[in-house]
Structure 1
Amino acid sequence: MPVILGIDDLRPLPRATRIARTSREGIQLLQEHRDSFVDELWLDHDLGGDDTILPVVTLMEEAAFSGRPFRIGMVFVHSANPIGAETVVRALARWDYQVRRATA
């Protein structure tokens, strides 16, 4: 069964096997899957209030910088915030994560 993780404050993401609603929960979710393969990771930029996906992106960048990137088949960025979504796509692509914009 594929592992499909989502980090989104509102969307139900029906294909996701696990969903985090905040960046803090998202970091915990990724750390729980640190040593396993994640088929898909769905990211929303704005997570309610002042919370964004950027702490999760930073975690992923730091993992790649240290030579141990998360093993993720494809990262999908779905956000109503086009500037925020493009920021995430560029940041992750720079570290060789397979990433693209999508609609959830």
Structure 2
Amino acid sequence: MQQLIPGPAPVILAIDDLRALPRATRLARTSRDGVQLLQEHRDVFIDELWLDHDLGGDDSIMPVVTLLEEAAFHGRPFHIGTVYVHSANPVGAETVVRSLSHWKYHVRRTAAQ
């Protein structure tokens, strides 16, 4: 009988100021920490990226979105299976979906898991 060798664990990153998101392997609570988290995973395939638009106070996910857009603009998009946008802010969520879809990231609007 042949034994299956387990593959690498999926990389599931989340940027959200409040939700626990238990499936996430790494979680950032601010846009600044989110940018750093993505930079740490620059050359790694990210299976899932969960984004909340409003991150408390004046903070939002837009610096992270800008990082992803600029990477794609320069021909080096991040390697992400699916970006899930789970914000309770419908206008902000739609802005994120539209912006990242324009740069050919696979994006879905969904409820937080």
> Which of 79, 89, 93 is the aligned partner of 1:85?
93
Q: What is aligned with 2:70?
A: 62
Match of 1:83, as an amino acid? V
* Superposed CA offset, 1:23-52 (max 9, x none): 000000000000010000000000000000
Which secondary structure state, in structure 2, belongs to the residue aligned with residue 12 of structure 1?
A: coil
CA RMSD, Structure 1 to Structure 2 (Å): 0.2
* Equivalent residues, number: 104
Say if 2:32 is the partner of 1:24: yes
TM-score of the superposed pair, with normalisation by structure 1? 1.00
Say if 2:12 is the partner of 1:4: yes
Which secondary structure state, in structure 2, belongs to the residue aligned with residue 73 of structure 1?
A: strand
- Gapped regions of structure 1 (runs ≥ 5): none
- Gapped regions of structure 2 (runs ≥ 5): 1-8
TM-score of the superposed pair, with normalisation by structure 2? 0.92
